[in-house]
A and B are shown apart, each in its own frame.
Chain A
Amino acid sequence: MSTKIMFEYVVRDKEGRIIKRGKTKGHSFVENYGKLLAQLFAQNDTFKLIPRGDTEKIFNKSDITTCTVVGVQSEDTNFHKYGIIVGSDTTTSPTPTQTDLVSPIEHSDTGLSYGDVVVGAYGEEDTYASYFTFSRTFTNNSGDIITIGEVGLACKLTSTNANNPGDYYILLARDLLSEAVDVPPAGSITFTAKIWNAA
């Protein structure tokens, strides 16, 4: 089986009771992730990726060591721009060339509040499949229902290339939920991303 990513979600009401569960199919990676893996093997002097809402940028070979999906608020004010991210689009099918969510729902302390990305354990399903997980909880601090239709995974990469130095946020995967999910006021939704490989 190829490298796959699947998103599972759990919706809770304001009392913390589970009111819905679901998951995506697991064929969600986009071209940026293929390019990142290719660079891991090729070790070229430079490589190119397309950040979210941006044009193609150049990264130096050593920049791959800055890659992370673990957005944590206490360490980075831009923690919500990478890791598991969500949007409201419900119709646009995933394609390999996508570089951002179609309709991202941005982090807001008074709207949908992004929590920290929490790294889960490495695991083995049997002798033919291994995986690892990480998760993020989004809390609805608005007074209205927030509807989520798409989910994605983005990493942060810091470029040291003289042409475009700086931090960039790169979409690695995107998927549509099989049906849009409502997060009630004061409720939350937790997405867990599972990346796995099979022999």
Chain B
Amino acid sequence: MSNVIASLLLSKGFIHEFTVYDKNGNVVRRGRFYSNSWNKNFTKLQRVLLCNTTEELVATDGSTTHSITRDYLDDIDVKAPEGDSRYGIVLGEGWSSPTINSYFVTVPISHKDTKLYYYDTSVDTRLNVADTNKRYFTIYRHFENRNTSSIYVREVALAVLIPVDGLFFTGLAYDSKQSWVLRGIDVEDVEIKPGETIKWSVMPLIET
């Protein structure tokens, strides 16, 4: 079995969950699947947190880097405000195989008042029970399709803002429809029809 397939089948790092609502707020579709999204930025951020090291993180553009020390740990911001699709949970319409070098969606569906409207990203720090030995907290965001045609989501990224020398956006996690499909989930493109709103939740798992 290749490393790719083995990694996908064994992984249970995140739960991704989406709920699609119609114009009247009724639930019309749901999906839930496991992901294995963390990239090397997140590993380095944990190293800063625990070992007081200085690490080079890669920006969402995939090339810019910046040194991060623990002095920045209380400035990391995932809670992107309404209308800002540079960080927080960001949706895309391209896709690629997730690796530790996947820093952002490949084809972002950017915020537009007349297309996909981004509300703010929020964090619920309560630890929920996934099963006896798993807990998770929840990062979530609502998106509204204000276009006249459907929008198809094929990838998702989790990115944060770190205020170093201006604004530094760095991605920590990425997942795409390739791994959704490989997990045997009946989800390929996630369709958001005109007038519908989707709530996308990213739930990091802690396992004992």
Contact = CB atoms under 8 A, between A and B. Distances in A.
Q: Do A and B bind each other?
A: yes
B118 interface: no
Contacts of B45: 40
Given A43-B79, A65-B71, A197 B38 contact: yes
A130 B43 contact: yes
A199 B208 contact: no
B206 interface: yes
A96 interface: yes
A113 interface: no
A199 B14 contact: no
Most buried by A among B44, B47, B132, B204: B47
Interface string B47-79: 101111101000000000000001101111111
Given A37-B204, A96-B208, A199-B38, A68 B51 contact: yes
Contacts of B200: none
A69 B50 contact: yes
A190 to B, nearest CB: 17
Nearest to A153: B50
Interface string B61-99: 000000000110111111100000000000000000011
Contacts of A44: 125
Interface stretch (B4-12, B18-26, B104-112, B146-154): B4-12
A34 B38 CA distance: 15
B119 interface: no
Contacts, number: 173
Contact of B133 (A37, A67, A95): A95
B40 interface: yes
B125 A134 contact: no
B97 to A, nearest CB: 9
A82 B43 CA distance: 21
Contact of A38 (B99, B101, B125, B160): B125
Nearest to B74: A62
B36 A198 contact: yes
B201 interface: no
Nearest to A174: B208
Interface in B126-160: 127, 132-137, 139, 160
B207 interface: yes
Contacts of B75: 43
23 contacts: A1-B11, A2-B204, A29-B206, A34-B136, A38-B123, A38-B125, A41-B125, A42-B78, A65-B70, A68-B51, A70-B50, A70-B52, A96-B133, A96-B206, A119-B53, A122-B55, A124-B100, A128-B4, A129-B7, A134-B50, A174-B208, A197-B13, A197-B38
